[in-house]
Structure 1
Amino acid sequence: MALLEKNKKADTQNGFGTASSFQNQPENANWGNFGNDYGNTNGNPFGNNYGNGADNFGGSPFGGTGSFGGNDGFGTVNYNMTGGRPSLQQKTETHFSKSFLIVSIIASVIFFLLGEVIYRTLITDVNSVFFMGVYFAVFGLILSSAFFIVSRVIGLDITSKKILVSGICILMLLVLGIFFEFIYELNFGSTMVQTDKYIFAIDNSGSMQDNDPNQERVAAIKKLLANREDNAQFAVYSFGDVIQCIRELNPISNGIDDFATSPSGGTPIVGVLSKIMEDMESGTLPYDEGCQVILLTDGYATDTSFLNFELNKTLKKFNKKKISISTVGLGYVDEKLLNNISGKTGGISVTTDNVDELEKAMASAVRVTDSSRNLLSSRARTDHNWLYALMRIIFLIILGAGFLGIKLAATDDTTNVKMICISSMIGIVAGALVMEIGLNLILSEFFARLLMSVLFGLMITTIEKTVMTMSQGGLGDIGIRHF
């Protein structure tokens, strides 16, 4: 009996407590080495249910839940025990593709810069109909190459079928570009009517004292008019320090020697054109439909703005009245500005470096107005102006659909096709409106083509990405909080 009591007492005070692992309590039930030494509130270093798992009559290796904690001198360590085995789970994440957006903008700008060089170099030297098809096909080729590179980098599938679809879209841009340009250049009515009324705007800035000290510009005008009919009428405006009419509109028979200039001041090109239009609107300067303005300058305008809003508004008025403005540049001039002025009103632009050739240049400018047009330039007003406006918008939208096909060919089912289609169509319609409405209101041809290129090439989408995650199990989460 004494021996039995002794064993029972020892059983109560052993290191594993009263209940052994066969009793589902390997920890110290009341007190002992594991209970008191590790400072767990309940004396259970591994929680309340350590030992119910595998090798302990069923369950997981650690079973149940529990925790223990301690201070290691650097911080608090918390262990969270959760039941079950770890498992891999598949998760789909959707994120916005910055790569496609950035690359689409860069590719569009690169094409625009290249296209401007080609456009300015070849548009007057090669067949404009064929040129337009090549222009849009090259744009499609650059976009397609850029999008396939991005697709390869981010791991999208690129198949021979996709490359074939992209090639078909590029070919479509070539063929439709040629066809649409051919239709757009057809004349469905009369263009501006040429009359025998000429308005000369002569640069009278201080620089003319050096570039034309002998006033060859005045002599060129007089020689030019000497070959015209006596009933032809002309007026002369000068612009420098002062913008003024130095000869009112009268027949040549009244004399051509009654005007001269005295150079001084800046080069207010916008100002003199605005003055001429004001005089026309007030009745001070009579005009006929088809009346021609010839602007002569030797430098850069001193009164332009970033978007040339005032200039474009004035040019729109000239175009509406079917009055062309031809420009003659002497020496180092702003050819871009002069081309914009003449292009938006149906005139022509002529430049010369030699003052002795000024008469020839002036004679080239005083001619039947230029009625040529293309899908990428300003358009002189015609009898059916609304028809050409509608054609340009529709033709550009259809061409823009070719760029949409190129975008879709470079993607797969992980991209948001709906987002690509909606954003692209918005950009395409906006680009077409920029080329028609924006160009006729405030934008120069340069900025209009830049905006069209970016809007047509814009690629906006999200991409789905599948990731693998591990569910909690085994020892569960381990969190360490440092002080």
Structure 2
Amino acid sequence: MFQRRVNLLMVLFSIIGGVAGFFAGEALLIWGEGRMPHFFLMGLYFGQLALWVAFFCLLAEYISPDINGKGWRLRNGRDGWKLLVPASLVLMLVAGIALQFVYGLYFGKVKPPQDILLAVDTSGSMTETDPDQVRLQAIRNLIQSLESDKRVAIITFSDRAEVLQDLTPVADQSMKDEVLGLLDNMPEPDGGTDIAAALTVSMELISAVSNDGRNSTVILISDGFSEVDLDQALKPYQEARVGVHAIGMGAENQQGNNLLKWIANRTGGTFYEVDKVQSLSGVVTQIYRSTQTWHLVGERTGALADSLYYAIVRVGCIVIIGALMGLGAGSMFDNRYLVRSYLVGGAIGGLLAGLILELGLQGRGPDWPAYFYRGTADVLLAIILSLSTLLVAYKQSSSMDGADSFSFRNRGYGGRSQNGREAQGTHRDFN
């Protein structure tokens, strides 16, 4: 008989598993960004999330076997624990690697920015905000890390904007050294802040090479505020699909930070608020890397920020991840009907989680931090997975009906041995 049941303890434990997976995932993202390829990072992210959720769901059913019946705990409970890691961590590690590889592919004319323009504030307030010129060291570190196919330009701005270095190839170390040497000629901090002028001059450099067929991006660093006609200043960026990534130095400069956030949002870029100048170099590097590739639980920037194709691919990948998490969870209970229930429930949870990630991370929802949307998606997926047997009817496995069994293993108990004799002590119905 098919039935719909829910294990309330499993629902509670799934929330715990989702929260644990979220915090572990955030720690992994903080540590792993820039240290490992995105495909492996996403494999680990979803692998550990699946492990936490599966562990707590299995623990809940082992404590209170409302879905499978008490007989399952005695017959197959130990085998469920044996399958825990292969059916969650290993399965999702492989799936995460494969799906991130697909999501990170460039198609058609889409390609990462090859021209990097750095617009650096040199106004008088920088003597207090950045007395040790940390922003120059951040630029040096970035230039040293650029690949050979990149070009870089440096624009300085205070009361007006000037080009310190036009777009220049950095194909080898000697070329990089020439650009780095120009940083010693950076103007001393003085005057006010004209962000509109910085945007105008940066776009003039981009327009001058628009026939080269290269994509561009701008990294804007400032601690000030100025009056900017955003419609006029940003229209060329929107038409050329050039993202402006803005860094606000100093939490006390809220008016200026709000302006920079608007500039980033309206051009498909990202905004970072840096309270401590010592962290500036890491932020600049993170922005650059985010323009070169993207991952399933992060924001797409620049020309691809509003891409319908990549939006569909991301949601589709998360649906597959949810379905595979359900497949793994159902297989631990050794019941093909449960596998179907968890497979469907996981796909539904994956669909909702994918929509939350896509809409939230791409700025189509409230202006909340990215980790909020990741946490919501992780926990929601875990909850819906635990409710699968309520959403999709299933049939309990019976020890007297081998047709209901779904197994990856060939046991030496719980059925007939090769010589036809029944194995001892396990072929019973405890329900």
How far does residue 126 in structure 1 lie from its aligned partner after superposition? 2.3
Unaligned runs of 5+ in 1: 1-92, 225-231, 238-245, 349-368, 465-483
Deviates more, 1:439-448 or 1:381-390: 381-390
Aligned to 1:173: 92
8 A contact 1:324–1:347 mirrored in 2: no
Give the AA of the match of 1:331: V
How far does residue 151 in structure 1 lie from its aligned partner after superposition? 1.0
Q: 1:247 aligns with which of 155, 160, 163?
A: 160
Q: 2:374 aligns with which of 449, 457, 476?
A: 449
Query: Any idea what the Cα deviations from partners look like across 1:379-430, whole Å, max 9, x if unmatched?
Result: 22346933322222111110111222244345688x9999866654432211
Q: 2:313 aligns with which of 391, 394, 402?
A: 391
How far does residue 179 in structure 1 lie from its aligned partner after superposition? 1.2
CA gap 1:375/1:233 in 2 versus in 1, 3 angstroms: closer
Measured in 2, the distance between the counterparts of 1:168 and 1:316 equals: 42
CA gap 1:289/1:234 in 2 versus in 1, 3 angstroms: farther
Q: How does 1:144-293 map to 2 (within 5 A)?
A: 144-155=54-65, 156=69, 157-158=72-73, 159=76, 162-163=80-81, 166-170=84-88, 171-188=90-107, 189-191=109-111, 193-194=113-114, 198-201=118-121, 210=128, 212-213=130-131, 234=155, 236=157, 246-248=159-161, 260-261=190-191, 272=225, 275=228, 277-281=230-234, 290=242
8 A contact 1:104–1:146 mirrored in 2: yes
- Say if 2:357 is the partner of 1:435: yes
8 A contact 2:129–2:223 mirrored in 1: no
8 A contact 2:103–2:313 mirrored in 1: yes
8 A contact 2:234–2:263 mirrored in 1: no
Measured in 2, the distance between the counterparts of 1:220 and 1:401 equals: 43
Measured in 2, the distance between the counterparts of 1:286 and 1:122 equals: 32
Measured in 1, the distance between the counterparts of 2:35 and 2:134 equals: 31
Q: 1:105 aligns with which of 12, 15, 20?
A: 15
Measured in 2, the distance between the counterparts of 1:438 and 1:172 equals: 27
Aligned to 1:54: none
Query: Any idea what the Cα deviations from partners look like across 1:429-459, whole Å, max 9, x if unmatched?
Result: 1111122221001443312221221122112
Q: How does 1:408-419 map to 2 (within 5 A)?
A: 408-409=330-331
Q: Match of 1:199, SS?
A: strand
Query: Any idea what the Cα deviations from partners look like across 1:35-65, whole Å, max 9, x if unmatched?
Result: xxxxxxxxxxxxxxxxxxxxxxxxxxxxxxx
How far does residue 119 in structure 1 lie from its aligned partner after superposition? 1.8
Deviates more, 1:155-164 or 1:174-183: 155-164
Larger-Rg structure: 1
How far does residue 175 in structure 1 lie from its aligned partner after superposition? 1.4
Aligned to 1:376: 297
Aligned to 2:206: none
8 A contact 2:357–2:373 mirrored in 1: yes
CA gap 1:389/1:300 in 2 versus in 1, 3 angstroms: same
- Say if 2:264 is the partner of 1:318: no
Identical pairs, percent: 19
How far does residue 113 in structure 1 lie from its aligned partner after superposition? 0.8
8 A contact 2:322–2:350 mirrored in 1: yes
CA gap 1:165/1:402 in 2 versus in 1, 3 angstroms: farther
Measured in 2, the distance between the counterparts of 1:334 and 1:421 equals: 44
Measured in 2, the distance between the counterparts of 1:218 and 1:115 equals: 32
Structure with more of its chain in helix, by fraction:
2
- Say if 2:34 is the partner of 1:124: yes
Measured in 2, the distance between the counterparts of 1:273 and 1:124 equals: 34
How far does residue 256 in structure 1 lie from its aligned partner after superposition? 8.1
Aligned length: 317
CA gap 1:405/1:260 in 2 versus in 1, 3 angstroms: same
Aligned to 2:254: 303
Give the AA of the match of 1:318: T
Q: Match of 1:370, SS?
A: helix
8 A contact 1:177–1:399 mirrored in 2: yes
CA gap 1:217/1:437 in 2 versus in 1, 3 angstroms: closer
How far does residue 202 in structure 1 lie from its aligned partner after superposition? 5.9
How far does residue 277 in structure 1 lie from its aligned partner after superposition? 4.2
CA gap 1:260/1:181 in 2 versus in 1, 3 angstroms: same
How far does residue 200 in structure 1 lie from its aligned partner after superposition? 3.2
How far does residue 111 in structure 1 lie from its aligned partner after superposition? 1.4
CA gap 1:293/1:191 in 2 versus in 1, 3 angstroms: same
Measured in 2, the distance between the counterparts of 1:150 and 1:434 equals: 27
Measured in 2, the distance between the counterparts of 1:391 and 1:126 equals: 22
Give the AA of the match of 2:371: F
Q: 1:403 aligns with which of 318, 321, 325?
A: 325
Measured in 1, the distance between the counterparts of 2:312 and 2:94 equals: 20
Q: Match of 1:200, SS?
A: strand
Measured in 1, the distance between the counterparts of 2:49 and 2:40 equals: 15
Unaligned runs of 5+ in 2: 143-152, 167-184, 194-220, 395-431
CA gap 1:272/1:389 in 2 versus in 1, 3 angstroms: farther
How far does residue 137 in structure 1 lie from its aligned partner after superposition? 1.8
Measured in 1, the distance between the counterparts of 2:49 and 2:133 equals: 48
Measured in 2, the distance between the counterparts of 1:429 and 1:282 equals: 35
Measured in 2, the distance between the counterparts of 1:301 and 1:334 equals: 16
Measured in 1, the distance between the counterparts of 2:334 and 2:259 equals: 48
Measured in 1, the distance between the counterparts of 2:189 and 2:228 equals: 18
Query: Any idea what the Cα deviations from partners look like across 1:122-164, whole Å, max 9, x if unmatched?
Result: 2321233223222222222222221111111113424156456
How far does residue 199 in structure 1 lie from its aligned partner after superposition? 3.5
Query: Any idea what the Cα deviations from partners look like across 1:89-145, whole Å, max 9, x if unmatched?
Result: xxxx99753311111111111111112112211232123322322222222222222
Measured in 1, the distance between the counterparts of 2:113 and 2:18 equals: 40
CA gap 1:278/1:107 in 2 versus in 1, 3 angstroms: same
